[in-house]
Amino acid sequence: MPSKIPIGPYHPLQDEPEHFLLTVEGEQVIDIDVSIGYNHRGIEKLAESKTYDQTVFLVERICGICSTSHPLAFCLAVEDCAGIEVPERANYIRTIIDELQRLHSHLLWAGLAGHFLGYHTVWMWAWKYREPILELFELISGNRNHYGMMRVGGVRRDIPPEHYPAIQKVLDELKPKLEMLYQAVLDDPVLRARLEGVGHLSKEDAIRYGVLGPTARASGVDIDVRRDYPYGASDKVDWEVITSTRGDLLARVEVRLLECFESIKMIEGCLRQMEPGPISADVPKRIAPGEGIGQVEAPRGECFHYVVANGTDKPERLKIRAPTYMNLPSFRATCLGETLSDVAIILAGIDPCYCCTERMVQIKDGRRSSSLRWDDLIKLSWEKTARLKEEVKDGHLRLD
């Protein structure tokens, strides 16, 4: 007699409001139904009443992790529509930000995957290694998240050459740690047992469901926007697309961790090759009637924006498609036949998008003493950015 188990829309494991209705027979999952829309914010409609410049900030708020993918995809779409040429240096900076974001996102996911498996060492380690990248972001943009770096026609802020050594230092220190994490995951018999052969997605199913990013590449679908539709400096630096043919969870872990090394290669290439120059093109406030498409390889897969311009300073229509939108329905292929205890990690296997908010509560003497207000948070953030910049100037940056 099959029974039904609802998961979500709010539950302690998956922080996002999504509802899964599992039909199980004994331990085995025989059907799954996914409902979304609990968090639909009407951003596409809202964009129709914002100027192009404002929309860049609006779409940055779609996601707290791949927060640069959406503004970048939107900028690319508007540039595609209006035929705007982006200066060379801006392209390199775009790729640096994009790849740093991929590093922090993949490490975040690796940590969460460990957490879902009850493997808290992996969780703590991965997040510890992720921290210096967030601090780098704070150094570059003033923010750990929501960098506000993109604008139509280029980027808003330059990366001054005196920051290059700090970026290089973080990357140099990250490499051995990533290597260790990668080997540790592959070597651990328990992790292998939880991941190998679990949540299998065949290449045919991957194509039928149109899955994207690491989820597709782990199933042998060789797609990557950075190679197929080059943007930023992705066609000017050396790197490779990572694929695997196994299609199970272990393959998804492998693909993501190996991609981190490629991201490091790309950032290093950018730092070596980029030359001084303007960081933004002149952009008309009103965009002539037309349409444009922007694609960005977000950490979870292709992020797609379609813009229709009508000659005013506001878009006529903006269609946004985040990668998880295509990856979610594939649960119907991956969960069926698996046991209930594996469902959590399979659901996490596509890296559904989370948003983490930090620095909300101040802890004193191990006891919660007071909540920080918005002003306090901003002040703290400013102080830290100032300290990091001071340390860079003195030549002994302490990113810990």
Partner 1 sequence: MKVKIVNRNEEIEVKQGVKLLDGLAERGYRLMSNCGGMGSCGMCRVKVLEGLKEPKEEYFGPLSEDLKKAGWVLACQLPVEADLVIQLEEKLVERWPGEEVAEVEEPELSRLGKKLRRALPGFNCSGNVCGYPTCFAYAEALARGEASPEGCLPGGEPVRAALKKILEAEAERRQFIGWLLEGIAERVQLDREADRRLYLRTSPQDLKEVAQDLLIGKGGRLATASGVDKPLSNEIELLYHISFDRSGMMVSLRTALPRNEPRSASVASFLPAAEFIEREIRELLGVEFVGHPRPERLIKAEDIPDDVYPLRKDFRIDDIMRRK
At its nearest, how many Å lie between partner 1 and the CB of residue 212? Answer: 9
Residue 226 interacting with partner 1 (CB under 8 A): no
Q: Which residue of 293, 340, 344, 372 would you call a contact of partner 1, by CB under 8 A?
A: 293
Of 231, 209, 214, 246, nearest in space to 333 by CA: 209
At its nearest, how many Å lie between partner 1 and the CB of residue 229? Answer: 6
Q: Which residue of 308, 355, 372, 377 would you call a contact of partner 1, by CB under 8 A?
A: 308
Strands 301-309 and 315-321: antiparallel
Side-chain half-sphere exposure of 353, counting CA atoms within 13 A = 23
Q: Which residue of 4, 120, 128, 208 would you call a contact of partner 1, by CB under 8 A?
A: 208
The residues in 21-60 that bind partner 1, with binding defined as CB under 8 A, are 35-37, 40, 42, 44-45, 50-51, 53-54
CA distance 208 to 210: 5
Of 276, 294, 299, nearest in space to 98 by CA: 299
Residue 325 interacting with partner 1 (CB under 8 A): yes
Q: SS3 string of 1-54?
A: CCEEEEECCCCCCCCCCCEEEEEEECCEEEEEEEECCCCCCCHHHHHCCCCHHH
Residue 350 interacting with partner 1 (CB under 8 A): no
CA distance 140 to 279: 14
CA distance 10 to 16: 7
Between 223 and 345, name the residue whose CB sits nearer to partner 1.
223
Binding residue count for partner 1, defined by CB under 8 A = 40
Distances (CA, A) of 243 to 180, 186, 212, 220: 21, 17, 12, 6
Q: Of all helices (H) and strands (E), which one includes residue 368?
A: strand 367-371
Q: Which residue of 316, 340, 344, 391 would you call a contact of partner 1, by CB under 8 A?
A: 316
**AA identity, residue 11:** H
The residues in 64-83 that bind partner 1, with binding defined as CB under 8 A, are 80
In the shown chain, the binding pattern of residues 166 to 205 toward partner 1, with x for contact by CB under 8 A and - for none, equals ----------------------------------------
Between 40 and 398, name the residue whose CB sits nearer to partner 1.
40
Residue 334 interacting with partner 1 (CB under 8 A): no
At its nearest, how many Å lie between partner 1 and the CB of residue 341? Answer: 26
CA distance 383 to 283: 34
Q: Which two tokens stand for residue 6?
A: 């609802």
Binding segment for partner 1 among 123-131, 242-250, 314-322, 349-357 (CB under 8 A)?
314-322
Q: Which residue of 210, 246, 278, 384 would you call a contact of partner 1, by CB under 8 A?
A: 210
Q: Which residue of 317, 344, 384, 389 would you call a contact of partner 1, by CB under 8 A?
A: 317
Distances (CA, A) of 94 to 40, 98, 169, 373: 28, 6, 20, 32
At its nearest, how many Å lie between partner 1 and the CB of residue 227? Answer: 8
CA distance 400 to 393: 17
The residues in 228-287 that bind partner 1, with binding defined as CB under 8 A, are 228-230, 285
Give contact residues for partner 1 (rule: CB under 8 A): 35-37, 40, 42, 44-45, 50-51, 53-54, 80, 207-210, 222-223, 228-230, 285, 291, 293, 295, 302, 304, 306, 308, 313-314, 316-317, 319, 321, 325-326, 328-329, 332
